[in-house]
Amino acid sequence: MPEPLPLASVKQMLAEEAALRPLPREALLAQQHAELFARLTVEQTNKLIAELTKLPFVDVPLAIKIADMLPQYPEEIRLLFAKERMVLEEAQIAQLLDVVAQHK
């Protein structure tokens, strides 16, 4: 299974590739999506992912999802962790929201 990439990295890679040659339609659609939804720079995203993975209950793929979404509300955090079949305590959710808020 390929390693997940943050949306900011995808945005940067597609922009670099677009500077070299015309992109196919699918890549153009992916580039438009990345430009629309990537709200942090690559450096900011990497710092956020590094800080999130310091938390014992967050792994790298989940940290990437959180960095891409930048959740603002506890319900958004619960939705991300529901797929992992993990229930977080209120203190853990607040901790995650604080880390994300520092990087916006």
Q: Are 82 and 56 in contact (CB under 8 A)?
A: no
Cβ atoms of 40 and 8 closer than 8 Å: yes
- Render pLDDT for 3-21 as a digit per residue (tens, 0 to 9): 899 999 999 999 999 999 9
Do residue 25 and residue 73 come from a single domain? no
Q: Do 97 and 69 sit in the same domain of this protein?
A: yes
pLDDT digits (tens, 9 = 90+) for 55-68: 999 999 999 999 99
Residues 65 and 29 in one domain: no
Q: How confident is the model at residue 86 (pLDDT cuts 50, 70, 90)?
A: confident
Task: Give the total number of structural domains in the chain.
Answer: 2
Other Cβ atoms less than 10 A from the Cβ of 6: the count is: 22
21 and 57 fall within a common domain: no
